Homo-oligomer: A and B are copies of this chain.
Amino acid sequence: MKLHDVTRAPNPRRARIFIAEKGLPMPELVQLDLAAMQHREPAYAGLNPWMGTPALELDDGTVIAESVAICRYFEEMQPAPALFGTGARERALVEMWNRRLEMGLYTNIAQTFRHTSPHMAQREVPQVPAWGEANRARALEQMVLIDRHLADGRPFICGDSFSIADITGGVSLDFARVPRIAIPPELVHLARWHAALAARPAWAA
Measured CB to CB, the residues of A under 8 A from B are 49-50, 58, 62, 64-66, 68-70, 72-73, 76-77, 87-89, 91-93, 95-96, 99-100, 104, 126, 128, 130-131, 134, 145, 148-149
Contacts and interface: CB of A to CB of B under 8 A. Distances in A.
Given A104-B50, A145-B50, A93 B69 contact: yes
A72 B64 CA distance: 20
Smallest CB-CB A-B distances: 7 pairs: A76-B88, A73-B92, A69-B96, A69-B95, A131-B131, A66-B99, A66-B96
28 contacts: A49-B148, A49-B149, A50-B104, A62-B93, A64-B89, A64-B92, A64-B96, A66-B96, A66-B100, A68-B95, A68-B99, A69-B95, A69-B99, A70-B92, A72-B91, A73-B88, A73-B89, A76-B87, A76-B88, A76-B92, A77-B88, A126-B130, A126-B134, A128-B128, A128-B130, A128-B134, A130-B130, A130-B131
